[in-house]
Amino acid sequence: MLALCCKRLYLFIGDSLHTHTRRLAHSKFHTSIRFQKHIDRDNGPLTLAKVGFGCETEITKNKKPKAFAANLESGVKVPSIKTKIPKAKLKQVEKNPIDPNSAPFAPKTFSELGLSPHLLETLEREGLSLPTDVQSTAIPTILRGHDVIIQSYTGSGKTFAYLLPILSRVGPLKEAQNGEGVTETRCIEAVIVCPSRELGMQIVREAEKILGPQNRKVVQQLVGGANRSRQEEALRKNKPIIVVGTPGRIAEISASGKLHTHGSRFLVLDEVDQLLSFNFREDMHRILEHVGRARSNTQAKRVERQTILVSATVPFAVLRAARGWGRDPLLVRAKTVLSLDSALALGSLSPSPSSSAITQAAIESLPPSLKHYYCITKLQHKVDTLRRCVHAINALSVIVFMNHTKQLKDTVFKLEARGIKAAALHGDLSKLERGTTLKNFKSGELRVLVTNELSARGLDVPECDLVVNLDLPTDSVHYAHRAGRTGRLGRKGSVVTICEEPEEFVVKKLERQLGIPIFACEFTEGQLVLQNNEKKVLEQASVGNSL
């Protein structure tokens, strides 16, 4: 019975939250003290309270189960629950109202997260009915107006974790469910920044997938390498509501006065740890200063901009930046929401940028289902070992990482000479060449994509079943981001590092730092053969995994 009440409660929560927040859509959101108190509890299971539902005083004082939705603004009452539970039964519910602090928040569908009905229909149409863990936690927290840092392992659905609440609040899906037509005076309400063109175009595609072909003009890409005057023309003509781009191009067009983001309500920094690197510093400073800032000739008050930072790895620098860029940002992970202070207190974020903190972040970013191997060979035999590895694992979609762009072409040439369809992806390619290469790889026309670190950040090719390090990654974070290109959203995936004898100690160091077994193997007669006692270790490890 209680479970049924919970279920109905969640559904009404979604509606009441939605109705409620719709009314508050333009009013000031701020973290209610009560909400902070909830989430600063221990790092226990995710509860209604921890994602912002539930106000004890309303329950204990009146002993009546009111809609579980924290007052986002004092004095604003949430609509009381219009439950369908028969009167007699309601008595029972009144007798033991659900305590939001202990009621587990374990939504099974998107409809329990407070997204707009129109958006839910679209997700259904796209065959997306089940939120991932990080989406279940991030979506209600963002809908409640909080600044957040979203951290979850690669391929766990972080893009939708921020896109869906934004599309629920701005653009045609929000207006459509108000029954209003699309208003004429559209301004840029969300700015999404990412470090690479590929990731930028991928985010645009994910947004277009949800918005549908009739709303293609709502999102505009502003990535480097594309034709700037065409982008400026599109901004003027289409009046997009969401822009997605790389820091340099966004800052450049903003400085030219052709990009007006002072009214933007959302700023998303995807792969934020990369965006903090030195070469983006100036552009990022401009973006942070302008997005969601009223023009100087009006009141220089900042609109209620929500700042959303996203990455699989959240080193201390991100933590420090988040404090300065946001208001009481919350650390959102799969099944947990923590304030930064309690994250530090619980040791889940180290205050010092020590290597252990960075490695900890890398460990958390690794998809759990991956199998890791390494194979020793001579430098001149690396490409042939790669060929044998691809055949032994029978991989159909392989991403190969190298550290220097000039080596990529040579590797592609050698693979093609051995009958494997391959192509290189790197920054020197034109936008068209990169797009075509990615399209051919995703369609399966190309079996191997040889690339470097930056082009691959956030790259999402669900079919990728093998990642090969032909050059060693520089540290555990790079290893983790490379590995995360496979095993997307819980799929199986293998990671093979091909190195020379003198480099074996580096692999062993990565194995210790990441706390994962990386099995020594070789590829003979079309098989992956484990070295000496690795077989036993692998059996133990797989038993461990299956437990």
Ligand X SMILES: Nc1ncnc2c1ncn2[C@@H]1O[C@H](COP(=O)(O)OP(=O)(O)OP(=O)(O)O)[C@@H](O)[C@H]1O
Q: Contact residues for ligand X (CB under 6 A)?
A: 128, 130-132, 135, 152, 154-160, 206, 312, 458, 460, 462, 484, 488-489
450 SS3 class: strand
- Decide whether 516 or 521 has the Cβ nearer to ligand X: 516
Cα four-point dihedral sign 464, 477, 523, 538: negative
Residue 498 CA to residue 520 CA, distance in Å, equals: 10
Q: How many other CB atoms are found less than 10 A from the CB of residue 188?
A: 22
Which one, 458 or 493, has the nearer CB to ligand X?
A: 458
Min CB(220)–ligand X separation in Å: 20
Amino acid at 288: L
Pairing state of beta strands 336-339 and 466-469? unpaired
Q: How far is the CB of 484 from ligand X (least distance, A)?
A: 5
Question: Which residues, 6+ apart, have CB-to-CB distance to 261 below 8 Å?
Answer: 188, 191, 243, 254, 290, 291, 292
Smallest distance from ligand X to CB 325, Å: 20
CB of 32 or CB of 159, closer to ligand X = 159
| Nearer CB in complex with ligand X: 131/473 | 131
Count other C-beta atoms under 10 Å from residue 486's C-beta. Answer: 29
Closest contact distance (angstroms) between CB of 487 and ligand X is 10
Q: Identify which of residues 38 and 488 has a Cβ nearer to ligand X in the complex.
A: 488
Q: Which residues pair with 466 in a beta bridge?
A: 398, 494
Instruction: Give the span between the Cα atoms of 139 and 318, in whole angstroms.
Output: 21
Q: Which of 155, 171 has the CB closer to ligand X?
A: 155
Nearer to ligand X, 158 or 174 (CB): 158
Q: Count how many residues are written for the chain.
A: 547
Q: How far is the CB of 259 from ligand X (least distance, A)?
A: 25
In sign, the C-alpha dihedral spanning 104, 105, 107, 112 is: positive
Helix axes 504-514, 476-483, angle to 10 degrees: 80
* Residue with Cβ nearer ligand X (31 or 486): 486
| 270 strand-pairing partners | 310
Residue 223: CB minimum distance to ligand X, A: 16
HSE-CB of 523 using CA atoms within 13 angstroms: 23
Could you tell me the smallest distance in angstroms from the CB atom of residue 476 to ligand X?
A: 15
Q: Which CB atom, from 130 or from 255, has the smaller least distance to ligand X?
A: 130
Nearest to 195 by CA among 266, 135, 244: 244
For the beta sheet containing 518-524, the strands, ordered from the edge strand earlier in sequence to the opposite edge, are: 422-425, 448-451, 398-401, 466-469, 493-499, 370-376, 518-524, 527-530
Question: Least Å distance between CB 537 and ligand X?
Answer: 28
Closest distance to ligand X from the beta carbon of 460 (Å): 4
DSSP state of 458: T
